[in-house]
Amino acid sequence: MFEPVILKNINIPDSFKLSAYINSGGYQALKKALEMTPDALIQMVKDSGLRGRGGAGFSTGLKWSFIPKDATLQKYLCCNADEGEPGTFKDRAIIEYDPHQLVEGMIIASYAIGADTSYIYIRGEFAFGADRLEAAIKEAYQKNYLGKNILGSKFNHDMSTGVQGRIYAERRPPSSNLLKGEGHCPVSSRRFLPMWVSSENLQ
Amino acid sequence: MLSEAAVNEIKDIRKRYATARSCIMPCLYVVQKEYGYITEDGMREIAKILGVKPVLVFEVSTFYTMYNKKPVGRYHVQVCTNISCSIMDGEHIVDVISRKLGVKVKETTPDKKFTLSTVECLGSCGTAPMMQINDKYYENLNDTKVEEILNSLR
In this structure, are B132 and B88 located in the same domain? yes
The C-alpha atoms of residue B76 and residue A125 are separated, in whole angstroms, by 13
CB nearest to B64's CB, from A87, A165, A181: A165
B68 falls within a domain: no
Among the candidates B37, B63, B89, a domain finishes at B63
B51 falls within a domain: yes
CB nearest to A186's CB, from B59, B66, B119: B59
Give, in degrees to the nearest 5, the angle at Cα A42 between A5 and A26: 40
Q: Which amino acid is at A102?
A: L
Domain that holds residue B121: 75-153
B70 falls within a domain: no
B56 falls within a domain: yes
Contact B116, B110 (CB under 8 A): no
B10 falls within a domain: yes
Would you list the DSSP string of A68-107? ---TTS--EEEEEE---STT--SSHHHHHH-HHHHHHHHH
Using pLDDT thresholds of 50, 70 and 90, give the confidence band for residue A85: confident
B130 falls within a domain: yes
Alpha-carbon torsion, ordered A47, A195, A114, A7, to 10 deg: -50
Q: Sort out which chain B residues have CB atoms less than 8 A from A164's CB and list them.
A: 25
The C-alpha atoms of residue B103 and residue B106 are separated, in whole angstroms, by 8
DSSP, collapsed to helix, strand or coil, labels residue A122 as strand
In this structure, are B30 and B86 located in the same domain? no
In this structure, are B59 and B80 located in the same domain? no
Contact A91, A126 (CB under 8 A): no
Among the candidates B34, B63, B92, a domain finishes at B63
End-to-end CA, chain B: 31
Summarised one tens digit per residue, pLDDT across range B37-71 is: 999 999 999 999 999 999 999 999 988 878 899 99
In this structure, are B95 and B133 located in the same domain? yes
Using pLDDT thresholds of 50, 70 and 90, give the confidence band for residue B21: confident
The answer, yes or no, to whether the previous bond of B129 is cis (omega within 30 of 0) is yes
In this structure, are B100 and B147 located in the same domain? yes
Q: What is the pTM of this model?
A: 0.80
Average pLDDT for A137-150: 96
Q: Which one has a higher pLDDT value, B77 or A85?
A: B77
Summarised one tens digit per residue, pLDDT across range A10-24 is: 999 999 999 999 999
Q: Is the dihedral of CA A130, A136, A139, A145 positive or negative?
A: negative
The secondary structure of residue B136, as a DSSP letter, is: E
The C-alpha atoms of residue A191 and residue A119 are separated, in whole angstroms, by 20
pLDDT at A163: 56
- Test A89 with B126 for CB contact under 8 angstroms: yes
pLDDT at A180: 47
In this structure, are B49 and B83 located in the same domain? no
Using pLDDT thresholds of 50, 70 and 90, give the confidence band for residue A87: confident
Those residues whose C-beta lies under 8 Å from the C-beta of residue A69, and which sit 6 or more positions away, are A114
Q: Is the dihedral of CA A84, A87, A93, A94 positive or negative?
A: negative
B114 falls within a domain: yes
In this structure, are B56 and B94 located in the same domain? no
Looking up residue B17, the CATH number of its domain turns out to be 1.10.10
pLDDT at A125 over 90: no
Looking up residue B89, the CATH number of its domain turns out to be 3.40.30.10
In this structure, are B50 and B91 located in the same domain? no
Among the candidates B21, B39, B63, a domain finishes at B63
Substitution target in B121, B130, B136 with the highest count of A β-carbons within 10 Å is B121
Q: Which one has a higher pLDDT value, A169 or A108?
A: A108
Those residues whose C-beta lies under 8 Å from the C-beta of residue B39, and which sit 6 or more positions away, are B31
pLDDT at A194 over 70: no
Average pLDDT for A55-68: 93
In this structure, are B138 and B84 located in the same domain? yes
Summarised one tens digit per residue, pLDDT across range A37-46 is: 999 999 999 9
B69 falls within a domain: no
In this structure, are B27 and B85 located in the same domain? no
- The DSSP bridge partners found for residue A77 are A118
In this structure, are B147 and B87 located in the same domain? yes
State how far residue B50 is from chain A, nearest Cα, in angstroms.
14
Substitution target in B19, B24, B25, B33 with the highest count of A β-carbons within 10 Å is B25
**Of B38, B17, B7, nearest in space to A160 by CA:** B17
In this structure, are B36 and B102 located in the same domain? no
State how far residue B70 is from chain A, nearest Cα, in angstroms.
18
| Number of domains forming the structure of chain B | 2
**Of A184, B19, A178, A182, nearest in space to A193 by CA:** A178
State how far residue B137 is from chain A, nearest Cα, in angstroms.
9
